[in-house]
Amino acid sequence: MRGKFVEATPRELRDRSLWSRIRAKWFVRDLVLVSVIALLAFAVLTQAFWFLAVRELDERILVEIPEGASVKRIAGILEEIGLVRDPGKFVLAARILGQTQSLQAGTYEFGLEYSELEVLLALKYGAVVGRHLTIPEGYRASQIAALLEGTLDIDPAEFMDLVHDPELMAELGVSAPSLEGFLHPDTYRFRIGTTAREAIVMLVGESRRVFDHRRRARADSIGMSVLEVLTLASIVESEAMIDRERPRIAAVYHNRLEHGWRLEADPTVRYALGNYRRKLYYGDLDVDSPYNTYRKSGLPPGPICSPGVASIDAVLNPLRGTQDFFFVSNGDGTHTFSRTFDEHIKARNRTTRVQEQPADVEFPLDTAGGG
């Protein structure tokens, strides 16, 4: 069936015309809104690309950000040395990212390529310029002082004075003759300008972190204080060259302590003498010092070096069931362990070369750990 043609009424025509005008206005409005948004997005992206753009420097730049500096002052400092082109934009970016109160003081190093966002993030996270330094296991405080002098220009005399400073020890919660042994060996990142006091606080803090609740509980279970564990661990550290022998060396010293024997540890005599030479002579055993374990019973007053984690754990967990009381160096980093003095003498004779010496020359002490 054919449809009939229906003519629109004047009212309907007016409604259609009105609707067309409304749609046109909406289109214009939407077009303007989209254009504004696009322009804003373009502006934001332009500024973002500016903030993210990598810039190049002819040389690395050091900048010092003082304590308490506002973000505006920081932006001004960065502009003066050429790291920021527009301090106002830098401040705005810091505000947008919510970092106006989190920028940290310190000495920073930038270049040869960087972006202003990297500068802002470096200040946020306190990525101050520094130097990496590894303190080996078994180093004495005087050796650590020498390392810090060479790397950070810290006065070794000032460092050693602080190592023996009772007030600093009390502040750090260390009850010992000195901070010897509490300067934990590890790899550290020191900021430029680190003081002797700050370095010591960092090293002692790491020692406290290592000697955590678990290790303290273990020390309590074997009847030893933190100081005693570190003291014996420092001797083990000085004797052992191979990790697998550390628990057995620790067991020898535990056995001697439990049976009331003197430790007779060569490294403690070297520490008492202060010269740390490799060979000891029988005459050296007469040195009058509380660290001379050939003449004094029990543990020395404190550590003789900074023990590593392996030596600390060896003291806390010595080899079980061993009845060894002696050991002698084989000359290759290993040791021969013995239960009796007779066995020890035989082992020593096997591992040392007997040479005739003039009557007025002392024989070197070639035994270790209770010779």
Rounded CA separation 88/76 (Å): 9
Do 251 and 361 have their domain in common? yes
Residue type, 357: Q
pLDDT computed for residue 45 by the predictor: 41
Torsion angle of the four alpha carbons 308, 310, 312, 317, in this order, in degrees rounded to the nearest 10: 180
Do 309 and 255 have their domain in common? yes
H/E segment holding residue 62: strand 61-65
Rounded CA separation 236/319 (Å): 13
pLDDT computed for residue 365 by the predictor: 46
Residue 19 inside a domain? The answer is: no
- Up-side HSE of residue 224: CA atoms within 13 Å toward CB? 24
Do 114 and 180 have their domain in common? no
Domain boundary among 125, 147, 166: 125
Do 244 and 316 have their domain in common? yes
Residue type, 297: S
- From first to last of its 371 residues, the chain has per-residue pLDDT tens of 455 555 555 555 455 555 566 555 655 565 555 555 544 444 444 454 455 566 666 777 788 888 888 988 988 998 888 888 888 888 888 887 787 787 888 888 787 777 777 888 888 877 777 778 999 999 999 999 999 999 888 999 999 999 999 999 999 999 999 999 999 999 998 888 889 999 999 999 999 999 999 999 999 999 999 999 999 999 999 999 999 999 999 999 999 999 999 999 999 999 999 877 667 888 888 899 999 999 999 999 999 999 999 999 999 999 999 999 999 988 888 999 999 999 888 888 887 643 334 333 333 444 445 44
Domain boundary among 125, 150, 168: 125
Do 288 and 163 have their domain in common? no
> Which tokens belong to 49?
């690309």
- Looking at the 3D structure of the chain, how many domains does it have? 3
Peptide bond into 147 cis (omega under 30): no
What DSSP state is assigned to residue 356?
-
Do 83 and 199 have their domain in common? no
**Residues 6+ away with beta carbon under 8 Å from 311:** 137, 233, 234, 236, 237, 240, 246, 250
CA-based end-to-end distance of the chain: 125
pLDDT computed for residue 51 by the predictor: 52
Note down the domain range covering 282: 213-365
Locus of tokens 């600390």: 312
Rounded CA separation 112/330 (Å): 53
> Which tokens belong to 166?
């009772």
Do 260 and 344 have their domain in common? yes
Q: What is the CATH number of the domain that holds 91?
A: 3.30.1490.480
pLDDT computed for residue 11 by the predictor: 56
> Which tokens belong to 267?
């490294």
pLDDT computed for residue 78 by the predictor: 87
Q: The pTM is what?
A: 0.70
Domain boundary among 96, 125, 154: 125
